[in-house]
Structures are given as C-alpha cells and as structure tokens.
Amino acid sequence: MNYIPDRITAEPGRSRDTFAGAELDVPTWPVEPGRYRLVAAAACPWANRAIIVRNLLGLQDVISMGLAGPTHDVRSWTFDLDPGGVDPVLGYERLQQAYFARYPDYPRGITVPAMVDVESKAVVTNDFPWITHDFFFEWREHHRADAPDLWPAECREEMEEVMRRIFTEVNNGVYRCGFAGSQKAYDDAYDRLWTAMDWLEERLTHRRYLMGESITEADVRLFTTLVRFDAVYHGHFKCNRNKITEMPALWGYARDLYQTPGFGETIDFEQIKAHYYVVHEDINPTGIIPKGPDTSVWTTPHGRDSL
C-alpha cells in the first residue's frame, strides 16, 4: 500500500530523507501545538504504535487524539465510540471524510493512524512509520522532561535492522499467515514467523529490552504484535505453534512493557478481538468473537527487573 508521504517537521519546506532504506522528497508541514489531531484506533496494531509513542513522549497536550471504533466497513473507520457517532473535534462520522477533504477521489484504503489538520479538517499523512519517527525527532521541544530516548544514537543503526526484521517477519508475518491463499504460502509464512520469534526469544533471554537496558521505538513496534498474539493471531491467523505465554523471555518481556506507563492503558482486548473477528469476514464468516483468553495474566509479575 502507498501512503500519503507528507511529514510534520520542526523546519517546514520540502524534506529529502533516507529512512528504512527509502529516499523521499516530500512536502512538510510545520510543528504547531494544537494544530493536528491524531486519529487512531485501539484495535489496530499500526495505530497502537502512535498512541503509545504519544503517551511515552508526553505529547497529549499538543497533539489531540480521536479514536475510531474497532470495526469498519469497506469505506472507512467510523467514530462510533463518540456521542452521536461524530468526532467532537473534526465533526466527522467517518475518517474517510478527512481523506476526501484533501483528495476528493482518494483511491486507496482509509487507514489509521492518520494525522489530520484541524483547521482544514484534511488528512496530512497516514505514513505510520514516519508518524512515530517524527513524534520523537520533530516534536522534541514539546516532549515531557523525562521522556525516554526512543532512538538512541549509539545503537540506531542496529535498531533499524532489528525493526526491519520485526516489521517484515513478525508485524507483517502474522498477516502473511492469516491471509495466505494456499497451503504452501501459509507453510512458508508460518516457518518465517517462528524463525523470527525464536530469534526474539533468544535475544530477550539476557537483555531486558530489544536494544538493552532502555525502551526504544523497536520495543513499541514489537509490543503491539505480541499483545495481540494469543488473543487473535494464535487462532484467527493460525500462528499456533505455541502461545506467547509459553515463551518465557517473550512473555516476561511483553508483560514488562504492558505494565510500563504508556503501554498497557492503550490496550483494549475486547476492541482488538472485535476488530479481527468481525471485520475479517473471509476468515471468520460467522462473526463470532471468542470469549477468551483470560487477560488478567497480563498484570502478573514479570521478573524482568534484574536483567
């Protein structure tokens, strides 16, 4: 999928960047507190990243947030969680309206997260890796005083390699399993996923976080898949070699993050399950939403403090 590549930067103009192997020459918008609204959905792992990073950096007072409901039709995510089904800032029933406000014939999927210009009510960007990248690098003047260093310079090159593997093999890997159109495609996807999961289990056995002692963007990106794994991907996407709760390092790590301020409060397991089991009619034509698993286990001691 192609995304709207515009960025919101501290120095507006046109930006030429290399990030994750991509060279971009894109228009930029100025960083201005109160100007933009992050439209996200608690159900969506890609949007969940942006919600978490906004929390960790303390940007709640400078970037407002609207949350779409967990289910959507072919047209768009909708604001059915808000009174009257209307976003109170944008006045929209559908996120699609923000896309059409800028591109009347927008031909691609209406995705979250999206940054929307409040005054014009038009979408600015839905390029999700850049949204969280720029929350850190471009909105620094507005971070809370004790905000974590999500992109530490001393390990940034390795971190980008780790994130690239997480994205291709895990974040996308579960979808590759779930939407495989043949047995061979599924078998190949399954093997790739579990090769990466075993690599992560080994990596996290002797280090608390992916890059060492501190939380980085890499941890945010992995967490949003791990927290959905047992509730959705294990059964719904047939990623069923084992559950996260059966992998000691990954399970302890996932709980550690869940119990860290900024992470767990963004998770709504009922919305997550409703999204996958209702929206994916081709995979789950009955629309039945499982009652389990027990989510209280996420608050049990993780024992990771000594690493």
**pLDDT grade, residue 124 (50/70/90)?**
very high
0.85 exceeded by pTM: yes
Which pair of structure tokens corresponds to residue 101?
A: 């406000």
- Helix 45-57 crosses helix 217-228 at what angle (to 10 degrees)? 140
Residue with tokens 């890796």: 129
CATH 3.40.30.10 applies to domain 7-142: yes
Which pair of structure tokens corresponds to residue 208?
A: 């608390």
User: Is 298 labeled as ligand-binding?
Assistant: no
pLDDT of residue 25: 75
Q: Which residues are catalytic?
A: 44, 175
> Is 20 a residue whose pLDDT tops 90?
no
> Is 195 a residue whose pLDDT tops 50?
yes
What lies within 8 Å, CB to CB, of 238 at 6+ separation is: 177, 178, 186, 190
* Phi (first) and psi of residue 19, to 5 degrees: -145, 125
Architecture of domain 153-260: Up-down Bundle (1.20)
User: Fold match between 7-142 and 153-260?
Assistant: no
> Is 13 a residue whose pLDDT tops 60?
yes
* Phi (first) and psi of residue 78, to 5 degrees: -125, 160
pLDDT of residue 19: 44
pLDDT of residue 18: 44
Q: Region 139-149: what's the mean pLDDT?
A: 98
Alpha helices in the chain, H assignment, sequence order:
45-57, 96-102, 128-137, 156-165, 173-178, 183-203, 217-228, 248-258, 269-279
| Tens digit of each residue's pLDDT (9 = 90 or more) over 54-92 | 999 999 999 999 999 999 998 899 999 999 999 999 999
> Is 24 a residue whose pLDDT tops 60?
no
- Check: CB of residue 307 under 8 Å from CB of residue 206: yes
Which pair of structure tokens corresponds to residue 204?
A: 């996290």
Cis check: omega of the bond before 293, within 30 degrees of 0 = yes
Q: pLDDT > 90: what percent of the chain?
A: 92
Domain ranges of the chain: 7-142, 153-260
Q: Region 243-256: what's the mean pLDDT?
A: 98
